[in-house]
Chain A
Amino acid sequence: MSGATGKDSSYPFPLAHDTYRISANVEPAAAPILHVGADHADVLALRSRILDGEPRRFVAAPHAAAASWDALVWLLDRMAREQAGVSLERDGHRYRWTNARLGVEQEFVFGDASTLPEHPLTFAGRQVEEDVVVLGARGDRLWLDAGMVVFASVWSLAFDHGMSFAELHGPVPSPEVFVRAERFLLRMPPGDAWRRLNWGLQLDDRPDLSLDASPAWGPRRRRLEVHDVGSEVHLRTEVQHLVRLPMTGAVLFLIGVRLLPLAAVAAVPAWSARLVSVLDTLPAEVRSYKDLGVLGPMAADWLRRSHE
């Protein structure tokens, strides 16, 4: 599978320090927000294949309709600003969307579901590399109201649907970080966009590590079946964007997955040294949360040896 392997030169290496602790680590987003890699068409095809094979990768509560349209227009407008061959024309509530790269041309009326071939979120979600989640803001809390997520990292959208922000982050070792993050997101002004990076290690190049698909990747992961560490073990960087949607105040959460084999990490000595240092000093609870008990030391040893 060649999906989302980040083969371009601008890999978003996620570690800013020699030690790692769980933090909100948000920074103002800079364009482009939506990634278009060398394997763009493959990634989009894979996204559609997973969604069509497993409809549970899309969820939407009835009260998320307006926020989903808000997300759709924001995403299409963003693509039109950032990408070539893409345009969004507007006349009142009527829009015409052209994505020449995919051969998509669609007229629709804002808020009128009958004018789109599918739900606004999957219509948008099939045309971007990023997974798309809509968090509704109600009663000073955020709720997972809708989303199309095909590249989840060991979680399940269908399972998490309807959870509060605090419940979503229940398994994370530093809950207080997410209490603050939620407060921050709720205070974001409409239209603001922020970026954060998350990371992990995995022993293949599958972007889809959803719990829904665990029969496909779980057994090998549990057995830690690795023959060639440098080519099989991948650094998984998630480029996450948080956008306060302008009309509804819902938070659009975008997750882009970028995979890089350890051999490519080793090719950049500064990255290699930093990853080794982070893995060597990872607090026990973070190590177990990220499931790096064995894979972490294995990767660190391999990187150390590759520089001998």
Chain B
Amino acid sequence: MHDLRPGDRVRARSPRSSFTPVETAAHHILVAGGVGVTPLLSHARWHAFWGHSFEVLAVGAPHLDVLRALGPVTVARDRRKMADLLGPVVGTAPWKSHVYTCGPPGLIAAVAAAARAAHWVGARVHAEPFVAEPAGGPFEVVLRRSRRRVRVAAGETLLDAVDRVGVAAPRLCRQGVCGECLTGLVGGTADHRDHVDAAEEGRIALCVSRAAPGETLEIDL
């Protein structure tokens, strides 16, 4: 990303956020640390639009003028000041308030601690963590019935690889949920990433699972 220059073309995907406001909340507290303000700007616009009760606590965040035009904003000069601010705000917030934090892990932890100290339940505390996509290194798979050996590239799924060499395999969801692509695992240790407990049946979900590091898989295909 840092090698990009103005005018370079980049490929973008639509946002994959599951960090949405809880519509049943009586009041929304938005805690923004640095560029973590980005999703919370949308939250603030949304609450201002619908007339929801909300406030923003910000530390080191840009776009403060935009936020101030939408609703009440309290700015903490540094992390320590933010920690001092959190206790009273969370402690005196109306019943059924929710808090949303986007920022560095330390800030997320500080908000969670303040909420816990005020006897909030976990379901009222939301955070947008930065998550890395699970790694997917290359590996090899032996298709026993088709008598083929296929190399699965990094970033390619087992299902893609099987498709590429023209071996038919069933599938529907491609997310490890439906169980349609489960195939017998005859040899090798897998890194199971499905949600249908394929491992318990000695099978593997071709759409999401991979070989454990250094392993070669043999499947019944």
Contacts and interface: CB of A to CB of B under 8 A. Distances in A.
A189 interface: yes
A27 B18 CA distance: 21
Contacts of B24: 63, 138
Interface string A133-153: 000111110000000000000
B4 interface: no
B178 A25 contact: yes
B195 A184 contact: yes
A230 B174 CA distance: 38
Nearest to B23: A63
Contacts of B49: 111
Contacts of A99: none
B172 interface: yes
Given A25-B180, A111-B49, A184 B173 contact: yes
Contacts, number: 68
B22 A138 contact: yes
Contact of B172 (A25, A136, A137, A140): A25
B23 A26 contact: no
Contacts of A215: none
Interface stretch (B9-17, B81-89, B106-114): B9-17
Nearest to A186: B18
A64 B20 CA distance: 14
Contacts of A66: 23, 46, 50
B213 to A, nearest CB: 25
Chain A CB within 10 Å, residue with most, of B17, B22, B123, B173:
B173
Nearest to A248: B20
Interface string A216-257: 000000000000000000000000000000011100000000
Counting chain A residues whose Cβ lies within 8 A of the other chain, the interface size class is 20 to 34
B23 A194 contact: no
Contacts of B173: 24, 26-28, 184, 194
A247 B45 CA distance: 12
A131 to B, nearest CB: 22
Contacts of B175: 184, 187
Interface in B121-135: 123
A63 to B, nearest CB: 4
B208 to A, nearest CB: 12
A140 B123 CA distance: 8
Contacts of B16: 189-190
Contacts of B196: 180
B36 interface: no
A249 B195 contact: no
A283 B24 CA distance: 41
B219 interface: no
Interface string A176-207: 00001101101101110010000000000000
B33 interface: no
Contacts of A26: 172-173, 177-178
A183 B50 CA distance: 28
A184 B177 contact: yes
B23 A23 contact: no
Nearest to A181: B177
B179 interface: yes
Given A111-B50, A138-B24, A248-B23, 14 more contacts: A23-B180, A25-B178, A25-B180, A26-B173, A27-B172, A27-B173, A63-B24, A67-B23, A136-B23, A137-B18, A183-B177, A187-B175, A191-B14, A248-B20
7 contacts: A24-B179, A28-B174, A65-B50, A66-B46, A183-B195, A184-B177, A187-B175
Interface of A: 23-28, 63-67, 111, 136-140, 180-181, 183-184, 186-187, 189-191, 194, 247-249
